[in-house]
Amino acid sequence: MVPVFLAQWMKEKRSPYLVLIFCILSIVATLLFGSSTGMKIKVDAFPGEGLTAVEVEQWLDRLNEGGSFDFTLRSEEKALSDVKQGRSDMAVKLLKDDYRVISVMEGGNANWVQQHLQVIYTEQLKINAVAQHTNDAAQFRDSMKVYLEQPPLTLQSSKPTGEELQSYNMGLQMLFGFTLFLVMFTVGFKVNAVTAERVSGIWNRVILSPVTKTEMYFGHLTYSTLIGIFQITIIFVLFKYLLGYDLGVNFGLLFVISMLYIVSIVAMSMLFTGMFKTPEQFRAFFSSVVPIMPPLSGVYMPPGTITSEILLFIGQLFPIKHAMDALIGVSMYQQGWDDIYLPLAKLLLMTVIFFGVGINLVERRNG
């Protein structure tokens, strides 16, 4: 086992680019897509006919309340030019009692902006309509502003235990998702070395040496597992201690989950190895199938987005689904062993099945 393990390490030492590339891709993808989930929607706004400068500022202040949108005052020519040339998704024309949304396409952010504008304008126009029938309109608006900021009744949400509800962290989900996705390529291509050595004849020559077939399997699979664990650990440590991501208080449990996930991916790669005769066939199949697994498992989407029973069932067949459930439970909701034992049990079951079928296929195909 040790000589086979060291032989794989010497090849890695001479060419470590595969692991480094996938580590960098995990970090870059998380920073690009994870950080964008919490960004404000930026919208260019320009005044229409009949609006004074004071009224424009008042409307902008109202529209920017809540922190989800960033309405910025622009000139009409500049705002419309950016929309026409594709530099901006939309622009909003502010009117005294109405608004106009200028967009090149429907859906997406345009719908959210439309809903936000409708709520704000409807509320403000109701206040203005009532204020016109009062003796002191300015005083009425001031009293309504205080009333809205400090309502007599408030609604508070909490967990059944009385703890405060936490908002869902899509950035953290993206971190886990891209890390687990890209480590599959690292592990899969390492396990593919078994097929490469069989095709080249190295496997049969080593069998004639004192190294047994079992030791050869253990050497390859142990090395693939450790490489995957190393990649995930490096990324988690970097995001937790250097980039300041909150991965929860139980970092050790995250490591255990990651280790079980890597072992299941090694087993899955072994299953795919037994299905093909050449390493080129494995790479073509692996590169086509693996990218489908995260979307079907809901890795890139908020919880509850996938509602199809068929897709939900298919997602249960992939290890990444159960690893994501366990990682999110531990990091976001401080779950313990009693809460995540089911996803871990599914990972162990998949590992046993994949290894059993995969090694059997390898031996039959090359026997």
Q: Is 98 buried (19+), middle (13-18) or exposed (0-12) by CB count in 10 A?
A: exposed
Query: Distance (Å, rounded) from C-alpha 217 to C-alpha 214?
Result: 5
Residue 97 CB neighbour total at 10 angstroms = 10
Looking at per-residue pLDDT, the higher value among 5 and 179 belongs to: 179
Least confident among 146-160, 175-189, 273-287: 146-160
Query: Any idea how long the chain is?
Result: 367
Q: Indicate the angle between helix axes 170-191 and 17-29, nearest 10 degrees.
A: 160
Question: Confidence class of residue 133 from pLDDT cuts 50, 70 and 90?
Answer: confident
Mean pLDDT for the chain overall: 81
What percent of the chain has pLDDT above 90? 22
Query: Distance (Å, rounded) from C-alpha 183 to C-alpha 228?
Result: 6
Start-to-end C-alpha separation, the chain: 21
Give the pLDDT of residue 107: 55
Cα angle 203, 228, 198 (rounded to 5 degrees) comes to 10
Identify residue 243 by its one-letter amino acid code.
Answer: L
Contact 5, 222 (CB under 8 A): yes
Tell whether the torsion through CA atoms of 202, 205, 209 and 213 is positive or negative.
Answer: positive
Phi first, then psi, for residue 292 (nearest 5°) are -80, -25
Query: Distance (Å, rounded) from C-alpha 93 to C-alpha 76?
Result: 8
219-231 residues labelled b (16+ CB within 10 A) or e (exposed): bbbbbbbbbbbeb
Average pLDDT over residues 14-27: 76
266-303 residues labelled b (16+ CB within 10 A) or e (exposed): bbbbbbbbbebeebeebbeebeeebeebbebbbbeeee
Domains in the chain, CATH or no CATH each? 2-36+169-366 (no CATH), 41-149 (3.40.190)
What is the rounded radius of gyration, in angstroms, for the C-alpha atoms of the chain? 28
pTM as predicted? 0.70
Give the pLDDT of residue 343: 94
Looking at per-residue pLDDT, the higher value among 15 and 178 belongs to: 178
Average pLDDT over residues 57-75: 83
Contact 56, 94 (CB under 8 A): yes
Average pLDDT over residues 82-108: 82
Least confident among 10-19, 196-205, 303-312: 196-205
- Cβ neighbors of 157 (< 8 A, separation 6 or more) are 165
The pairing of beta strand 41-47 with beta strand 90-94: parallel
Question: Confidence class of residue 318 from pLDDT cuts 50, 70 and 90?
Answer: very high
Q: Per-residue pLDDT for 150 more than 80?
A: no
Give the pLDDT of residue 341: 92
Tell whether the torsion through CA atoms of 264, 270, 272 and 274 is positive or negative.
Answer: negative
Average pLDDT over residues 330-334: 88
Query: Distance (Å, rounded) from C-alpha 248 to C-alpha 236?
Result: 11
Paired residues of 103 in beta bridges: 90
What percent of the chain has pLDDT above 70? 79
Identify residue 217 by its one-letter amino acid code.
Answer: Y
Q: Is 185 buried (19+), middle (13-18) or exposed (0-12) by CB count in 10 A?
A: buried
